[in-house]
């Protein structure tokens, strides 16, 4: 009876439930995304203004570089024959990433435009000025296109202090600690009293050219044994 009463109560509870309506709600952000983006990038407004002002101040166009540093970044395998011929004319058929210096002329730029998807062009700049004939041995072309001049720094003789003691008259001073370390090194390598026991070399194949040693009996008492 108790189980039947519980089942009846549970059934009545299920029947008396009110239905729930589910509906999908879509939020439309038309026109709100731009406002949200403008608020999020509000901190960059002063940077944009500074960039525009700098462009206005430096209104003079940059002078084009006289030379280009060109390197091939992709393989020529499977490329059309006309592209291979253009790369051969530009001397870019060697190893990949091998750099070649070309002139900035309309004819060469037209050829580079045909294979621009296979190469990387870096303009060459001269931060230290154009080199002279005496600077050719000290020039260096970097990977970023900078052609710099590096020279050895020469000492200034005016600021050099005079030596108080000549180098020839200086004596090597050895303290007790240095001597102990030196003797310990000789002890570890078994080189104590080496001057009293000179080495006696044995030439078994007549390297010294003394054949008389072979005309005698070989005994352990001989000094040449």
| Residue range 152-192, pLDDT digits in tens | 766 666 666 666 655 555 566 778 898 899 889 989 998 88
Question: What pLDDT is stored for residue 107 in this prediction?
Answer: 94
Question: What pLDDT is stored for residue 68 in this prediction?
Answer: 93
The residues near 58 (Cβ < 8 Å, ≥ 6 apart) are: none
Question: What pLDDT is stored for residue 91 in this prediction?
Answer: 92
Task: Tell me which CATH code domain 67-123 carries.
Answer: 3.30.1390.20
d(CA 163, CA 148): 37
Beta-strand runs (E) in 61-123: 67-72, 99-103, 119-123
Question: What pLDDT is stored for residue 23 in this prediction?
Answer: 46
Cα–Cα–Cα angle for 47, 51, 57, rounded to 5 degrees: 145
- The CA–CA distances, whole Å, from 209 to 18, 44, 204, 212, 213 equal 123, 91, 11, 9, 10
Question: What pLDDT is stored for residue 1 in this prediction?
Answer: 52
Question: What pLDDT is stored for residue 105 in this prediction?
Answer: 93
Question: What pLDDT is stored for residue 150 in this prediction?
Answer: 84
d(CA 48, CA 28): 31
Question: What pLDDT is stored for residue 175 in this prediction?
Answer: 86
Residues (pLDDT < 70) of the chain are: 1-38, 56-61, 153-172, 211-225
Question: What pLDDT is stored for residue 202 in this prediction?
Answer: 74
Question: What pLDDT is stored for residue 14 in this prediction?
Answer: 45
The domain spans of the chain are 67-123, 126-155
Question: What pLDDT is stored for residue 120 in this prediction?
Answer: 94
Question: What pLDDT is stored for residue 192 in this prediction?
Answer: 83
DSSP 222: S
Please say whether the beta carbons of 145 and 89 come within 8 A: no
Question: What pLDDT is stored for residue 50 in this prediction?
Answer: 84
pTM exceeds 0.95 for this model: no
Question: What pLDDT is stored for residue 146 in this prediction?
Answer: 92
């Amino acid at each position: 009876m108790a189980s039947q009463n519980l089942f009846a109560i549970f059934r009545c509870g299920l029947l008396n439930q009110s239905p729930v309506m589910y509906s999908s709600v879509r939020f439309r952000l038309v026109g709100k995304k731009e406002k949200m983006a403008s608020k999020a990038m509000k901190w960059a407004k002063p940077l944009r203004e500074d960039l525009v002002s700098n462009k206005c101040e430096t209104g003079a166009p940059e002078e084009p570089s006289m030379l280009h540093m060109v390197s091939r970044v992709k393989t020529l395998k499977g490329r059309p024959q006309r592209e291979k011929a253009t790369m051969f004319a530009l001397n870019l058929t060697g190893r990949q990433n091998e750099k070649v210096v070309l002139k900035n002329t309309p004819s060469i730029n037209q050829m580079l435009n045909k294979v621009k998807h296979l190469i990387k062009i870096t303009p060459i700049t001269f931060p230290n000025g154009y080199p002279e004939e005496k600077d050719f041995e000290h020039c260096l072309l970097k990977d970023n296109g900078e052609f710099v001049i590096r020279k050895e720094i020469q000492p200034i003789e005016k600021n050099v202090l005079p030596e108080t003691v000549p180098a020839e008259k200086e004596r090597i001073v050895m303290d007790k600690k240095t001597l102990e370390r030196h003797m310990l090194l000789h002890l570890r390598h078994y080189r104590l009293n080496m001057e009293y026991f000179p080495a006696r070399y044995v030439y078994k194949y007549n390297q010294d050219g003394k054949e008389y040693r072979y005309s005698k009996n070989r005994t352990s008492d001989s000094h040449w044994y």
